[in-house]
Amino acid sequence: MPTSEHDPDTALADRLLTPPLGRHAGAVAIGAGTLFVLGHLLSAMVTDRTDLSGTLTSGPYRATAVLMLVGFAGLAIAAVALHERHAVRLGRLGAVALCAALLGTFLLGGDHWFETSPHPGGGRAGGRRRDRRGPGRRP
């Protein structure tokens, strides 16, 4: 029985039947993983553990955050592409797995976005610094 690797007609038919996004699923997943690795390495290089609030507002850290967010988008696209490629074999379990993967990707991406976004009055409550003595107490 000839395989698609050895039979040109079967290889062409396989290529025509594979969805366009599904054909590039592996490359998209590898690209997203590469962005994650680069983002984590650069983040480790630019993070100052003694001044975390200063690090979060610095330009280099924000650049690594954008890199990571593009990686999250690539990961979501790769999950959809892989499901598109194997949807017939995976059935309902594949659809549930895709939903779980997308939900996890969006939640982690949202958490990362929240951590790198500027917050009004960050570290302050109501625009004023909180006093440890509590309300109504004088110095």
pLDDT digit string (tens) for 54-95?
777 788 888 888 888 899 999 999 999 988 888 888 889 999
Grade residue 119 by pLDDT with cuts at 50, 70 and 90.
Answer: low
> Does the residue 2 lie in any domain?
no
Q: Which two tokens stand for residue 134?
A: 């509590």
Grade residue 52 by pLDDT with cuts at 50, 70 and 90.
Answer: confident
The tally of domains found in the chain comes to 1
> Does the residue 7 lie in any domain?
no
**Rounded distance, CA 7 to CA 115, Å?**
52
> Does the residue 127 lie in any domain?
no
Query: In terms of residue numbers, what domain contains 32?
Result: 23-116
pTM, whole model, 2 decimals?
0.66
> Does the residue 42 lie in any domain?
yes
> Does the residue 50 lie in any domain?
yes
The pLDDT value given to residue 124: 45
Q: Out of 34-38, 46-50, 56-60, 133-137, which region has the weakest mean confidence (pLDDT)?
A: 133-137
The pLDDT value given to residue 66: 85
> Does the residue 4 lie in any domain?
no
